[in-house]
Amino acid sequence: MTILVVTGTDTGIGKTVFAAGLAAALRAYYWKPIQAGIDPDGDKEEVARLSGLPASHILPEAYRLTTPASPHLAARIDGVEISLDRLALPQVDGPLVVEGAGGVLVPVSETLLMADLFAHWGQPVILCARTALGTINHSLLSIEALRARNVPIAGIAFIGERHEENERIIPQLANIPSLGRLPLLDPLHPATLAAAFATHIRLSDPFNG
- The CATH number of the domain holding residue 202 is 3.40.50.300
Q: What is the mean pLDDT of residues 119-141?
A: 97
Tell me: pLDDT of 64 over 90: yes
Render pLDDT for 32-48 as a digit per residue (tens, 0 to 9): 999 999 888 899 999 99
Query: pLDDT band for position 187 (50/70/90)?
Result: very high
Tell me: pLDDT of 1 over 80: no
Cα 91–Cα 156–Cα 3 angle in degrees, nearest 5: 10
Q: How many domains does the chain have?
A: 1
Cα 199–Cα 136–Cα 24 angle in degrees, nearest 5: 30
pLDDT score for 39: 81
pLDDT score for 207: 55
Catalytic residue among 32, 44, 72, 130: 32
The parent domain of residue 11 ranges over 3-208
- Cα of first residue to Cα of last residue in the chain, in angstroms, is 9
Q: What percent of the chain has pLDDT over 90?
A: 93
pLDDT score for 80: 96
Q: What is the mean pLDDT of the chain?
A: 95
State yes or no: is 15 an active-site residue: no
pLDDT score for 154: 97
User: Nearest-CA neighbor of 2 among 88, 95, 90?
Assistant: 95
Render pLDDT for 72-89 as a digit per residue (tens, 0 to 9): 999 999 999 999 999 999
